[in-house]
Amino acid sequence: MADGDDPRRREDSLATRMSDAVARTSEREVALRAMGLLDGLYEGDDFLLLVGGRHARGILNGAPPLYWPEAWGARALLYAWTPEAAKVVEKNLTNRAWRVREACAKVVATRQLPLVRALTVLVTDENARVRGAALRALGAVGSPADEEVIRRALTDPDTSVRVAAHDGLEALAARHPSVLSASGRHAAAAAEASGSAAADDSAPTDSDGTDADADRA
Instruction: State pLDDT tens for residues 105-164.
Output: 999 999 999 999 999 999 999 999 999 999 999 999 999 999 999 999 999 999 999 999
The reply to whether 26 falls in a domain is: yes
Q: How confident is the model at residue 180 (pLDDT cuts 50, 70, 90)?
A: confident
Does the structure show a pLDDT above 50 at 211? no
What pLDDT, on a 0 to 100 scale, did the predictor assign at position 74? 99
Q: Considering only CA atoms, which of 158, 166, 94, 53 is closest in space to residue 105?
A: 94
- Do 64 and 144 belong to one domain? no
Does the structure show a pLDDT above 60 at 186? no
The reply to whether 31 falls in a domain is: yes
Please report, for residues 51, 53, 68, the alpha-carbon distance to residue 64 in angstroms, rounded to integers and kept in the order given.
17, 16, 9
Please report, for residues 11, 42, 46, 134, 190, the alpha-carbon distance to residue 6 in angstroms, rounded to integers and kept in the order given.
9, 20, 9, 35, 57
Contact, 70 vs 92, CB < 8 A?
A: yes
- Do 184 and 126 belong to one domain? yes
- Do 75 and 145 belong to one domain? no
Q: How confident is the model at residue 214 (pLDDT cuts 50, 70, 90)?
A: very low
- Do 52 and 119 belong to one domain? no
- Do 125 and 77 belong to one domain? no
- Do 189 and 133 belong to one domain? yes
- Do 187 and 119 belong to one domain? yes
What pLDDT, on a 0 to 100 scale, did the predictor assign at position 166? 98
The reply to whether 103 falls in a domain is: no
The reply to whether 207 falls in a domain is: no
The reply to whether 195 falls in a domain is: yes
The reply to whether 214 falls in a domain is: no
Q: What angle do CA 32, 138, 156 make, to 5 degrees?
A: 125
Q: What is the pLDDT of residues 9-56, one digit of tens each?
A: 546 899 999 999 999 999 999 999 999 999 999 999 999 999 999 999
CATH number for the domain including 165?
Answer: 1.25.10.10
| Helix orientation angle between 27-38 and 14-24, rounded to the nearest 10 degrees | 120
What pLDDT, on a 0 to 100 scale, did the predictor assign at position 197? 52
- Do 192 and 122 belong to one domain? yes
Does the structure show a pLDDT above 60 at 4? no
Q: What is the pLDDT of residues 72-112, one digit of tens each?
A: 999 999 999 999 999 999 999 999 999 999 999 999 999 99
How many domains are there within the chain? 2
Domain assignment of residue 6, given as a range: 1-93
Q: Considering only CA atoms, which of 114, 159, 166 is closest in space to residue 136?
A: 166
The reply to whether 163 falls in a domain is: yes
The reply to whether 193 falls in a domain is: yes
- Do 160 and 131 belong to one domain? yes
In this structure, the dihedral spanned by the alpha carbons of residues 193, 196, 200 and 202, taken in order and rounded to 10 degrees, is 120
The whole-angstrom separation of Cα 165 and Cα 214 is: 56
Q: How confident is the model at residue 205 (pLDDT cuts 50, 70, 90)?
A: very low
Does the structure show a pLDDT above 70 at 209? no
Q: Choose between 212 and 114: higher pLDDT.
A: 114
Does the structure show a pLDDT above 60 at 7? no
In this prediction the pTM is 0.80
- Do 53 and 21 belong to one domain? yes
**Which of 62, 93, 124 is the last residue in one of the domains?**
93
